Structure 1
């Protein structure tokens, strides 16, 4: 960043107590109405997070119609139930449905991104998405299939292509976003993560070899007759899986933070650029503490976990350059049906970036 360049922070002003009121009402009404209210719940939830995410003191807004979302969810639900019950008709039908979803993937991606973009605004100006179907088929069908044949080596390249596709096909008004990160940048992150994983694994193997008698496990198994020995052995196994879980979570936090920083730091909008500086240790702490908060509260403090994560991510993102948003112009966009977006959500398709 050049000296003297203006940096504008992104702020999140939402509060856990406020969001809890929205969350609990959404949950109860969705249960009472057998899921019908969930469309209105989604709009209320998104509006709260959008309107409390501020740049220069001005929040974003979300404009989707709950009715449009409900219609999309009904169609998605019917398709999903057909998929579930198809196995009782023929063992081959679930495979047919799986291929249909795979074939529809490019359409789902484009419709999801377009619906979300055109229903999002900042200072009254809408976002847009105009992705190409052919390119979507390549990056969301072709490249994932190649994972098998490349033994996973294509994953960093695939993530780069998917991120670039999602970023560069978005617009704010008539101004397109741009991303200039290269494949080598993604390979570097995944390579470091792999080396870190191998290093931890090697260190753990050495530690176990030096501290545990070779006959320990054999003797422990032979002594399983006593309750105390069985309990001690169970504690050792539980500790092993806990440590394994922490390693995987830590590697995930490292990749997530580094990829997010890379994507945002290589993205521009007109003369504006972005500066993201997430830290892996912060993300790991949030993952662990939020998980404990949700478990210990039996899910009632889920809103607190959402607010904590959103506040942290916003606090680590800045805009670089003059934030003169009056120079951006837009035009009227046609409304987009929510079917694709709701089908993607129904089948748990993760279509995000950064």
Structure 2
């Protein structure tokens, strides 16, 4: 028989949300564009195959523009609207993008000659802006529309552009027009990120991988998806040192080549199913998973009373059944931070979980200022 879990009211604070049994403050509701109505409260079970990382795949797809000689075979690319849109962005400038299997894309950018990708496609996804760095590095110029993406707060591209200013000249208009030094290409340079932005780090790395000379990026983002992009570029012939640390040293190459590469498992998808198991007080297994990439989620669920067991090198079992937890799950606090802190992309899932836990919880969102709308419905 399905178990019903009581929902605890949410109290709204300026930059925090507290789940407790106190009377909640009333909040205005943002408009709803689309919605799903879900009848839940039922246990789930079985094995969940985890897809390749969407965020990594989007950056790597942009990175294929660095490869002017030979096709790239990408395995583990999830079939999503965002990845399809990114493929269309590449096609709009002359790349060949073909699916060879359910999760394999072959990308050949050898014949790309256009430096202004489709504005309408760029405007659909945030990651569309990633093509800026590779295009200016390869052709000495690029004209890219401002990006779109989900409405979770201000995500300005200032850091992207400032990083490229260390390597090139920039003109700001309705579209960002970038011209390499002397209109010929990029030159190595050093840049310190004021904030460890994932997108700005990836943009700088892709551009610097083909710049003339050595480039140094400090306070770089350390997310697994950034490391995955550097591994891809290295597989294509790039010289990048310090992946996974806050300092990256990139020695530019005149040309990068095609390669085969497998996208890493999606840690956010894995964390979402971990939360689903906890919310429904169920037991499921997940694979492939890289356990260190979900360490923050594992820590919080363990704190709540769940049992997380590693099964082999790339699988986890998540159990929140009463026989394991001993009863109710306990509340815990969250503060979102850049990696290796708790990921902002799992904040909403944990908020849902915490409404079923005993005790008061505080969630502090420090990455995006508008990422609390889900708590207002």
TM-score, with length taken from structure 2: 0.24
Identify the structure with bigger relative contact order (alpha carbons < 8 Å, sequence gap 6+).
1
In terms of Rg, which structure is larger?
1
TM-score, with length taken from structure 1: 0.25
More helix by share: 1
More strand by share: 2
